[in-house]
Each structure stands twice: as structure tokens, then as C-alpha cells.
A and B are shown apart, each in its own frame.
Chain A
Amino acid sequence: MKRLSDLDYLKLNKWQAFWYKVALFFCAIPLFFKNIGLGIVNFFKKCGIGIRDEFVDIGTTFTKGNWAVKLSFLIFGFGNFYYGQILRGILFLLFEVVFIGYMIVPSGGLYWLAKGNWFKIGSTVGTVQGGLVENKINYNGIEIVTSDWVAGDDSVKVMLYGLLTIVFICAFIYTWRVQVKQCRICMDITAKGKKIKSGKDDMKSLLDDQFHKTLLALPITGILAFTVLPIIYMVLVAFTSYDAAHDGYSNLFSWVGFDNFNELFNFNKGGLGLTFGEILSWTLMWAFFATFTNYFLGMFVAIMINKKGIKIKKFWRTILVMTIAIPQFVSLLYVSKLFTTSGLIGRVLEQIPFIHDWRVAHNFVSLWDSPTVAKILLIVINIWIGIPYIMLMATGILMNIPQDLYESARIDGASSTQQFTKITLPYMLFVTGPYLLTSFVGNLNNFNVIYLLSEGNPIKGTAGGASVGHTDLLITWLFKMTLGSTESKYYYASIIGILVFLVVAILSLIIYNVIPSTRNEEDYK
């Protein structure tokens, strides 16, 4: 589409300008995807070049290196020893010894890797199925038959250890590369006749030039062990038949490829596709309403309290802030009971004939039994929870808006509505753009509010090994799937996790490209 020049644009009337903007937005979508595509291509190009450079570097290190460097291609840290970096040498060598030891001992790395049957569709994870074995015991001449459980493989463990081994192998290759690189650096430094860092220097630099490594060591280890590894594991689970019936211990589970995905996206009768679609659309709807009602109402409250002439501002704020301090589950559970028929508010509503008749006509025990009313209640109660946060945030931002902007607007004769739409709102949107995104994502996964208020009820049916309600979000559905009942289907849970990730990632990508305030990190400084 042809872009109009500024002058032409200003000539358009309101409607034309509006449609022009809409058209521009839609025309930008293909461009957006093109840019993503180009980005991906560029990424792979970069990777390719990077890998090529690495190999070239390794090659030159080998050809140019002396015997010690050449030997260190096999024995870790040999080059470091040769150049006098004893500490590094010892660490590298230790790593290699531990790695090789771990791989070759019986029931070590190779053993677990072999048991996993990695990605062989149809074959089990683990090779020995445990089972009951009958034993005949002769007890004082009477023959007794006992059955004992003979443990086989545990698929969960086989997969976990296999995965750990793969991670270990990657670490091994990386370490090999690092120590080869260090040999090259040492070669270059000695060639120039400079002094090589000793072990003591290394230790010192951990508090100085390499301080980030010291500080990051623990947090990153934690993230790798408790987030990255489990996520990779769960992604793998999506391709297996891991559920309550095949829990790995009493029954091995197996690799099934994309079968689970096909089942989840099966939109025929009896397939999960429809349920999934319904839950997804309610999740998106919920996130949208929950985010924007809170945002605008919270901002409105902040503006009201901030208005000139309103007294005891601190009092109003403290009351709202206090509600943040009280643990959510207490207030949420209490409020949810308030709206039941025997709860305080429910009772009052019961007195209204219209509501009472409606409830009886539909056979609802309480207001929570009606899907529509439950959804509305959820959004309303969520406003009650969310406003204090937004109010606090908005107050801080409102105070940062330069007052002379308003003053000059007032002199120019702008009404207070105009001041709001032309100054306050754009400023707020600009500053809180990233926050809106995070809060939208937070609401997509807002487990607490939904589960503590309605538990996802009223129940609609069962799907994916869990009961599904009208107000279930993807995350509460996921939770119910994994609760450890006899119906639990972990593979669906993991697919849903992946899908939540995709939804969030796509939304973030689009929004990050649209809002201006996220572009440059250094701008804030």
C-alpha cells in the first residue's frame, strides 16, 4: 500500500484517516512476518558462519600448535600445564576424567543412553518391564504361592538420566573447545612475549574482571537445573505416552511421535480439538478483560485520588494498598463463598425476585453454577483485586508527568477530558506498555484467581483426563490433568504448556514490535 505524505494525511477527514490507519495496520502484518522470516534466516546464517569460524580456528590451532597443544586435543588441560597454568589444567583434566568415568562405568552414561531408545517411535523408554513374579515356597510341606514385584526400568528415570547424559556430553564438547581455545590464546601471548595469567590471577579476576561469573554461578545453575532441564524434559514428554496408566514404573511408556498432537487437534466428534478451542478462547477473553478493566479503572482511581482538592490522599491509598498485603487465597476463598446462595451477598441477591426466579428456573444451586454469571463474577472480582496494584503504579507515573504540559493545555482551553485523552493517556500507555504486556501474560496464566474462586466450574465435561469447566483457563486445565488421579495425562499437560508458550511468544513478538517504549534499553538511563 502506498503511504500518504503527511500533508495528504492531514487532508483526510476523520473517517478516512481511521480507515487509512486500519489499512496500514493490516498491510504491516505481511511485512512483520517477512521481517521475522528474514530474522530467522539471518540467525542461521550467523550460526553457520560462527560454526565455520570455530572449525577454522580449531584447525589452525592444531597445525600451528607445538606438541603440547596437539596433545591437549586428547588430554584436557595439557596445554595449560605446558604454559604453566596449573590450576586451569587441573580443573580441565578433572573434568575429563569424571566425564569418561561416568560414561563407561556400568549403569553410567552409555548404559542410560542405550536404554532410552531415543525417538524410536513405538518402542518403550527403558527396556525391562517390571512385573509380578510368582514364587513357590515350600513351607513345612505346604506349597505357598507368593507373588513379588520385580522392579524393571522406570521410564521417567531412564529419560531423565538419558537427558542428563546428553547435557553432560554437550558440556564436554564445550569444555574441550574452551581448553583448545585457551591453548591458542596462550600460544599467541607467549609469541608476543607477554606473561601468562597464573592461577592466582585467575582467582583474583573472579572478584574483578570476571566478577559476573562469580555472581551468576548460583542463579544460573538454579535456573538450568530447575527450569531449563525440566522444560526440555516436558517438551520430550509431549512425544511419549506418559500418563497415569503408563507411569514409567508399573508400566513403561513409549515414544509416540506426533500422535498426541493429532489427538489434541482432532476437531471431529469425540476429539479434544473443540474443548481445547473453547478453553483457549475463554483464556484469551479473560486475559483481555482482566487486563484492560483493571488497567483503566485503576488509572481512573489513581486520577481521582490525585485530583487537586481531594483531601487525605494518603488514607485512600493506604486502604487500597492494605488489600494487597492480605494473602490472596484468604480473600479470594472468602469472597467466593460470599456469592454462594447461603453467603452474605448471595442472600441479599436472593431477595431480589428476578434473580431468585432466574436461579430456580435454571436449577442453579448458586450463582457460580451459571457459566455466564460465573465469568462475569470472575472479571468483577478480579477488578477488586487488581485495582490497588494499578492505582499504585499509576500514581507514581502520574506524578512524573510534567505539570507544565497541563498548564499550557489549560491555557489553550483544553477541557479536562481532552487533557486526559491527549496528555495523560498517551503518556501512561507509552510508559506502561511493557507492563501491559506482562500483565496480559500474567492473566493468561492467572491460576490463583480462577482456581480459588471458581475452580474452573461449572463443570462442562471431561477432556484430556480431567474434568473441564466453563471458566477453566489453559493453566487450570493443565493443573487438573496432572493432579495424580488415575486419569492424569501428562503428555497433554506438556502439549498445553508448549501451546501456552507459543501463544505468549507470538503475542509478545507482535506487541514488542508495536510499542515504542521497549525498543531501547539504554534510553531509560
Chain B
Amino acid sequence: MKKQNDNKIRKTGLGARASRRISNGIIYAILIIMTIVWLFPFVGILLESFKTETNMQTPYLFPKEFGFDHYIRLFKETDFFKWFINTGIMGVATAVLQTFFILSMSYVLSRLRFKGRKGLMNFMLILGMFPGFLTMILIYKVFADAGLTANMAPLGLIIVYCASSGMGYYVSKGFFDTIPKSLDEAARVDGATRFQVFYKVIMPLSKPIVIYTILMGFMAPWGDFILASYLIHENSAGMNVAVGMYEWLSRTNLNTYYTMFCAAGVIVAIPVVTVFLLLQKYYVEGVTGGAVKG
């Protein structure tokens, strides 16, 4: 304080530091508020699921008494376990098949040059502009005849998720684009066929994008509502979690099922969040890479 007057340079230095401290303080405050806002619903669901009251009309966040009633009721009284298994199967199957489809498509479009490549890409771009749901009207009719709706809907849904998934090649194509072309050329000069280049040179380098694609494929069925609800059409045995749990929060069911919805939400979140946090690194690479490459 004493030296403040006689050393001007020092003063501005101090001032800058102080203002930086203030701005950092503001940022910390914003970040803390954001953390609370962003975590609030999840903490809310978690706490709600441990309440022993059954109805929605509880004007407090923290349970008065902790209990697992809703979890037990969930498995005893509802079809939730069935839905959970359905969705899990769909997740795994979609992850495997979709990865195969997307990677072949993006690999070809990124690293091979052939006649009609540009045309194919433009065609898929235009195709992607139609709302995908539109196709469901016909697909539902055909699947209904083939017995792939209602109780067998999970199988039908796997087909729907995977069949056209080649159109979502953008992110992984962006990744393949970044692998230097000279690698392919070197291998070709050494006499490798294109197939050998694919699985001996490029695939070992592509671990991040393979994992990213698997992750996306696994997560898709957990959140899908529109396609699933259309194929399932109120058949409890064939539901996925989203469609099943949606019914619980309709106006008539709300009071009976609200807390069970929260318990189910926690259970659904567990596998997805675990897988996601384990593979988070790859997800981040995919998102950032994909956005830059377009």
C-alpha cells in the first residue's frame, strides 16, 4: 500500500493482477452455478428414486427416509426388466452392425477413388435432407407383414437402425481423411492389395474412430423414441426403455409411476454412463474431429 504511489509500473501490474483475479472469480462463480444447474436434474432423479413416498406431490428434494422400495417395485410389478434387456440387446447388436456399415462406407469414400464417388456422396447428402421418420410409414407396413413389429420390434428396430447407417459416415470419413495418403501408397508399392491396406495398415491406426462408432451405436437405442414408438405400438413385451418409461409420465400415470420413473432412470443411466465415461476420450476426439472436417 505504501509503495503504491511511488512506483507507477508496479501499480499497473498490481491492477492488472487484481482485475484478472476478479474476472477469474466471476468465471469461477459462473462455473459453479453452471455445475449446480447442470447436475440438478440428475441429483434430483437420484434423490427422488430413494424416496419412500410414492406420489409426485413431495415439495422437498431430499428424501425424509431413504429406501429402495421403488427399485424393488420396478422389477416386481412392471415390465421394466424386459425393456432393459431389449434395449441392451439392441444396443450391442446395433453397435456391432452399425460400426461395420459406417466404417466400410467412410473408408471407401475417404481413401479409395472410383467413378461415381462424388455422385454417391452428393446423393447421400440429398437423401439425408428428408426427415428419416418418413420412411417408417412404409417400413411399418412391411414389417407388420413380416412379423417384425410389436413383440418382435427389437429385431425390426435393429434392422432399421443399421440398414441406412451408412449415411452417417461423415465423422469417421473426417478421421480417415487425416491419415496420410503416403501410407497407402507405400503399402501398394510393396505389393499389398487394397484389402490388405485396409486391414493391415489403416485399421490398426483407426482405434479411436472404431471405438467412437461403437459407442455411438451402443447409445442410440437407449435414447430413441420416435422410431421405436412407431414400430412397438403399445406392446409392452417389445418396448425399449424410452417408449416404456414415456407411458409412465402421461397425465393419468404420473402420480403412480413418477418415483418409479426416477428409479428406472437411474438404472438406465448406469450402463450408458459407465460405457461413456470409460470411452470419453474417444468420444471427445470424434466430436471435435467430426466438426472440423464437416
Return A420 CB to nearest CB of chain B, in Å.
13
Known: A320-B34, A451-B226; 19 extra A-B contacts, CB below 8 A, are A156-B141, A215-B108, A223-B163, A231-B135, A307-B27, A309-B24, A322-B273, A325-B269, A325-B273, A328-B223, A330-B265, A342-B56, A393-B287, A396-B292, A448-B226, A474-B131, A479-B133, A505-B129, A525-B181
- Decide: A310 and B24 in contact? CB cutoff 8 A: yes
Contacting residues, chain A, for B112 (C-beta < 8 A): 211-212
Q: Is A15 an interface residue (CB 8 A)?
A: no
Residues of chain B lying within 8 A (CB to CB) of residue A447: 133, 225-226
Which residues from chain B contact A209 at a C-beta distance below 8 Å?
194
State which of B2-10, B37-45, B63-71, B72-80 sits at the interface with chain A: B37-45
> Binary interface profile of B, 150-185, with partner A (CB < 8 Å = 1, else 0)?
000000000110111111000000100110010000
Which listed residue (B108, B174, B273, B291) contacts A212, Cβ 8 A? B108
Interface size, chain B (Cβ < 8 Å): 93
In the complex, the answer to whether B222 meets A327 with C-beta atoms within 8 Å is: yes
Complex Cα distance A216/B136, Å?
24
Q: Is the beta-carbon distance between B163 and A222 smaller than 8 angstroms?
A: yes
Instruction: Report yes or no: B41 in contact with A334, Cβ–Cβ below 8 A.
Output: yes
User: Could you tell me if B193 and A494 are in contact, using CB atoms closer than 8 angstroms?
Assistant: no
Contact in complex: B31, A304 (CB < 8 Å) = yes
Tell me which residues across on chain B come within 8 A of A207, comparing CB atoms: 193-195
Q: Which residues of B contact A397 (CB under 8 A)?
A: 288, 291-292
CA distance in complex: A328, B166 (Å): 24
Query: Which residues of chain B come closer than 8 Å to A484, judged between CB atoms?
Result: 233
Q: Is the CB of A335 within 8 A of B41?
A: yes
Any chain A CB within 8 A of the CB of B104? yes
Chain A residues with CB under 8 A of B124: 223
The yes or no answer to B282 lying at the interface (CB within 8 A) is: no
Task: Give residues in A with beta carbon < 8 Å to B.
Answer: 156, 160, 207-209, 211-212, 214-216, 218-220, 222-223, 225-231, 233-234, 237, 301, 304-305, 307, 309-310, 316, 318-331, 333-335, 337-338, 342-344, 347, 384, 388-389, 392-393, 395-397, 400, 431-435, 441, 445, 447-448, 451-452, 474-475, 478-479, 482, 484, 490, 493-494, 497, 500-501, 504-505, 508, 517-518, 524-525
A175, chain B: closest CB distance, angstroms: 16
Quote the shortest CB–CB distance from A374 to chain B (angstroms): 16
Most chain B CB inside 10 Å of its own CB: which residue of A208, A215, A323, A388? A215
Interface residues of B in 63-121 (CB under 8 A from A): 100-102, 104-105, 107-108, 112, 114
Chain B interface residues toward A at CB < 8 A: 20, 24, 27-28, 30-31, 34-35, 37-39, 41-42, 44-45, 56-57, 59, 61, 100-102, 104-105, 107-108, 112, 114, 124, 126-127, 129-139, 141-142, 159-160, 162-167, 174, 177-178, 181, 193-195, 198, 219, 222-223, 225-226, 230, 233, 241-242, 245-246, 249, 254, 258, 261-262, 265, 268-269, 272-273, 276-277, 280, 283-284, 287-289, 291-294
Q: In the complex, which residues of chain A have a beta carbon less than 8 angstroms from the beta carbon of B269?
A: 325-327, 330
CA distance A500 to B130 in the complex (A): 7
Name which residue of chain A comes closest to B288, CB basis. A396
Shortest Cβ distance from A504 into B: residue: B129
Of all chain A residues, which has the CB nearest B26?
A304
Q: Are A435 and B291 in contact (CB under 8 A)?
A: yes
Write out the residue numbers on chain A whose beta carbons fall within 8 Å of the beta carbon of B59: 344, 347
Contact between chains at B24 and A434 (CB < 8 Å): no
Whether the Cβ atoms of A337 and B249 lie closer than 8 Å is yes
Q: Is the CB of A326 within 8 A of B273?
A: yes
Interchain nearest-CB distance for B26 vs A (Å): 9
* A395 to B283 CA separation, bound complex (whole angstroms): 13
The minimal Cβ–Cβ distance linking B227 to chain A, given in whole angstroms, is 10
| Contact (Cβ within 8 A) B35 A319 | yes
Contact among B42, B101, B136 for A323, CB-based, below 8 A:
B42
- State whether A234 touches B137 (Cβ < 8 A): yes
In the complex the two chains form, what is the Cα distance from A424 to B101 in whole Å? 37
Q: How far is the CA of A378 from the CA of B57 in the complex (A)?
A: 24
- Smallest CB separation, A460 vs chain B (Å): 18
- With A215-B108, A325-B276 given, is the CB distance from A227 to B31 under 8 Å? no
